[in-house]
Structure 1
Amino acid sequence: MQATPADRQPTIEAFPLNTSGSALGAEIQRVCHDNELVISAWSPIHLRDTLKKLYWKDGKDAVNAMTFWEDMQRYLYLPRLNGRDVLEQAIIKGAGSKDFFGTAYGQTGDVFEGFKFGDANVQLDDTLLLIEPEVAKRYETNLPADLRPKSGDAPPPAGAPDGGSSPLQSPIGGASSVPATGTGKAKSFYGSVEVNPATAKMRLVQLAEEIISNLASDPQAELKITVEITADFPNGATDQIKRAVSENAKSLGFKTSTWE
């Protein structure tokens, strides 16, 4: 281990193993867990303190959660977790309180996209940011009242008086948005939505959390999801864009990918 990033040499400590059994791997695992060399459950307090000590400094108020996870695999001065799920559980528990950190799914200048504070409905992915709690408090305070996240509140249905017309503002938690007709249960759902390219990453995550996850909560449901992208270039697309998009579309398994 290393006590601090500035240590020039790691500290080595030996632990005795019981070699009388045949499962040496299990014995190594037991010793690692008993001596907290590998952590199977991590408190959001320790997560916050680690970020505050090493990441939230020198003017940096937010850290990418996956960058932090990858650093934990590289550097001896960071805790060793049993798996990524341990970090994910610590983030979910901490995100439900305003004591540890705020979250977002991207940052453009001073704007946090998909900002949440005191809301445990988060997902650990490549875009998730963990925001220093005091910075998150100030950011929330400076937001217009109608844009402040409301912890634990489901967004209003589409077309509601205060819900606007965004199709993303549909009920969550498995509640059906189909009016009761008395003619039996609905058998199918069809939906389409236009996504602003500037916030596409956040919106697609929101769609997955609030629409797709609810549909998939029924083990008998059969889901088919198609993403359709249309882009127009008044002055013509550059060769660099065409080449990059065509190659990426092919590697991502697009069924259709054409230029006109």
Structure 2
Amino acid sequence: MSGNDPQLEGKRFLVSGGGGGLGGEICRMLGEAGASVIVADLDLSRATECAASLEQTGVKAHAVGVDVSDAQAVDRLFKEIGRAGGHLAGRIDGIINNAAIDITLPVEEVDTEQWRRVLMVNLYGPYLLVHAAVPLMKAQGSGHIVNIASTASKRAWPNASAYHATKWGVLGFSHALHAELRPHRIKVSAIVAGGMRTPFLLDRFPDIDTSTLQDPANVARAVRFVLTQPEETVIPEVMVLPMKETSWP
């Protein structure tokens, strides 16, 4: 689906982990619909490359390098967003909490720093972005928070205890926000995504059967779907699976 969407055109979205993979597809799809995007990534060069590619197609995109687990870095980012001018004008219509990492090891082999890092990026990071964005959204009287969860938030498999703990946490956090923020006209949606053909899986599992995975554009399309519901409607959770998904019945 391409072409401007009146429900997205002129709006501004921040996408964490936006430099590639699913985040890059979300940026592209929202940009094609007429939104401007803040491509936020730990790797500024990836964010810059993604934003430049989008701008070549006429999308308004701005790259920022930010560690979502760093409270001071997130605070600086939102102070910049709060200042008028350019792509970071003082409005934020939505944030997509997409940034995530994983460590695939038995629990006794995961050292304390590895566990902490997964927790900080996958769960503390979304909290920091929401904590910073909600005051702006309340002042505007609207906003939408989309949290990228996973089938790892619904069931468990071996050697991914930290990832499961954080993704179950993200899903619970998302539903708690949905209950809390509805009176303020702020929508919250969780996208429970099945396996995708992205570096997140392919780089770590080079022998994975890619026929069991889905195009990340299909999940990005679900993000766009929840963002384009009528004002009176919110979708708190949606699951998007490849037909041959192995981690879900």
On whether the aligned pair clears a TM of 0.5, the verdict is no
> How does the TM-score come out when normalised to structure 2?
0.24
Bigger radius of gyration:
1
Q: Point out which structure has higher relative CO (alpha carbons under 8 A, 6+ apart).
A: 2
> How does the TM-score come out when normalised to structure 1?
0.23
